[in-house]
């Protein structure tokens, strides 16, 4: 079954074609938000509208197939920005109606959880998923396809959001995570001892105190902190990464589950990969990261999950709404 995947939940416009063997995809990260220091919802919707059809036509042409060969459509319906979600959802509904084929509305986080199977077929549940991006920091116990339990989540900012906001404070371009990663390679990540909030308390996360701690220092001694920007941001990254590693380690110990799959934009972080590998070696668990392309939001993961649900006979009604706050735990198990 050739499935078309569509992803427009935030600031990546992405389209993929997946037939079970061959995958073609395009991911465009919208540049329009850079000047604003964060994603502007209305601009995201407009850019999705501008980009989605040309991307779709490119992927179809590159795959050497016709739109008429597509047998099902998978689209992100939430969580995300409502206006952005509506663009992808309406394109999916229009194609479904016009082509007379089923479509399935998917939870974006379920895509992140299963993205690993695109590259590692031997990942089977139960496993622990850590979704860590600009909008999410969630630790999920994956019992089976469609059966998820959130065992830890951020109480305030997402990990990527804290990196982005602090990067912007120091004059970097949004999103700052990848640049902080690069600049930290030659920096002293122990130069500043920033707080690791809630590190001993359960599996939830909190990153807003870190932001405040840096801001207080910045306001108190702006000149020297700015001059030492590289070490400051490397220390920020270290604080974020250390909390993520400690919580994952704790989750492995508490659940006894020994496969951990990390996804989302922050999964591209080299220090996170390094410290997670050390922890995995130390307490004997397997840690899996997607290649960098699949860390970020993409339609390949949506096409993958969609194909699984569509081939199991599932489909969504044409009045399926965008669900900006859609939780993973409300999903159902599928027999596919």
Size of the site for Zn ion (CB under 5 A): 2
Shortest CB 8 distance to ligand KG4, Å: 12
160 binds ligand KG4 (CB under 6 A): yes
Residue 183 is a binding residue for ligand KG4 (CB under 6 A):
no
Spatial separation of the C-alpha atoms in residues 278 and 252, rounded to whole Å = 14
Least CB distance from residue 81 to ligand KG4, whole Å? 10
Residues 10-29 that bind ligand KG4 (CB under 6 A): 10, 12
Provide DSSP, 79-120. Answer: SS-HHHHHHHHHHHHHHHHHHT--EEEEEHHHHHHHGGGGT-
Q: How far apart are CA 279 and CA 301, in angstroms?
A: 27
DSSP secondary structure code for residue 202 in this structure: S
Secondary structure of residue 251 in the 3-state scheme: helix
Using CB under 6 A as the binding rule, whether residue 266 contacts ligand KG4 is answered as yes
**Nearest to 59, CA basis, from 107, 91, 106, 105:** 91
Q: Decide whether 102 or 177 has the Cβ nearer to ligand KG4.
A: 177
**β-bridge partners, 17:** 4, 24
Among 79, 135, 152, 306, binds ligand KG4 (CB under 6 A): 135
- Least Å from the CB of residue 164 to ligand KG4: 5
Does the protein bind Zn ion through residue 110 (CB under 5 A)?
no
> Which of Zn ion, ligand KG4, none lies near 88, with the C-beta cut-off 5 to 8 A by kind?
none
72 touches 106 (CB < 8 A): no
Q: Which is nearer to Zn ion, 115 or 252 (CB)?
A: 115
Rounded to a whole number of angstroms, the minimum distance from the CB of residue 97 to ligand KG4 is 29
Torsion of Cα atoms, 55 then 56 then 57 then 60, to 10°: 120
Q: Is 157 in the site for ligand KG4 (CB under 6 A)?
A: no
At 148, is the secondary structure helix, strand, or coil? strand
**Token pair listed for 111:** 């895509």
Q: Does 265 bind ligand KG4 (CB under 6 A)?
A: yes
Q: Does 83 bind ligand KG4 (CB under 6 A)?
A: no
Query: Which residue stretch of 16-24, 127-135, 186-194, 327-335 sits at the interface with ligand KG4 (rule: CB under 6 A)?
Result: 127-135
Please tell me whether residue 133 binds ligand KG4 under the rule CB under 6 A. Answer: yes
Q: Cβ distance 110 to 226 under 8 Å?
A: no
String of contacts with ligand KG4 for each residue 277-296, x by CB under 6 A: -------------------x
Locus of tokens 């390949």: 300
266 contact, one of ligand KG4, Zn ion, none, CB 5-8 Å limit per kind: ligand KG4
Of 274-333, which residues contact Zn ion (CB under 5 A)? 297
The CB-of-335 to Zn ion minimum distance in angstroms stands at 26
The Cα–Cα gap between 65 and 68 comes to 8
The three-class DSSP label of residue 253 is: helix
Interacting residues toward Zn ion by CB under 5 A: 133, 297
């Amino acid at each position: 079954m050739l499935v078309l995947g569509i992803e427009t939940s935030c600031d990546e416009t992405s389209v993929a074609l997946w037939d079970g063997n061959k995958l073609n995809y395009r991911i465009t990260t919208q540049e329009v938000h850079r000047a604003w220091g964060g994603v502007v919802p209305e601009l995201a919707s407009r850019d999705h509208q501008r980009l989605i059809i040309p991307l779709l036509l490119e992927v179809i042409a590159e795959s050497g197939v016709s739109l008429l060969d597509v047998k099902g459509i998978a689209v992100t319906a939430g969580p995300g920005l409502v206006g952005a979600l509506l663009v992808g959802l309406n394109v999916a509904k229009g194609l479904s109606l016009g082509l007379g084929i089923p479509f399935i509305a998917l939870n974006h986080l379920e895509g992140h959880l299963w993205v690993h199977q695109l590259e590692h077929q031997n990942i089977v549940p139960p496993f622990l998923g850590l979704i860590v991006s600009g909008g999410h920091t969630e630790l999920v116990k994956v019992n089976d396809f469609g059966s998820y339990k959130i065992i830890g989540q951020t109480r305030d900012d997402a990990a990527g959001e804290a990196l982005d906001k602090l990067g912007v404070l120091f004059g970097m371009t949004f999103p700052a995570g990848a640049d902080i990663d690069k600049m930290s390679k030659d920096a002293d990540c122990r130069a500043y001892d920033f707080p690791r909030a809630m590190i001993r308390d359960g599996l939830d996360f909190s990153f807003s105190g870190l932001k405040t701690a840096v801001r207080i220092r910045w306001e108190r001694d702006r000149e020297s902190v700015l001059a030492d920007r590289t070490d400051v941001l490397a220390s920020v990254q270290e604080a974020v990464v250390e909390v993520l590693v400690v919580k994952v380690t704790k989750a492995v110990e508490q659940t006894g589950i020994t496969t951990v799959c990390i996804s989302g934009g922050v999964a591209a972080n080299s220090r996170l990969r390094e410290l997670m590998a050390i922890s995995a070696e130390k307490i004997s668990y397997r840690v899996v990261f997607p290649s960098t392309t699949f860390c970020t939001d993409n339609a390949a993961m949506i096409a993958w999950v969609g194909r699984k649900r569509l081939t199991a006979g599932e489909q969504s009604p044409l009045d399926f709404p965008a669900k900006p706050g859609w939780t993973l735990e409300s999903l159902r198990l599928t027999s596919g």
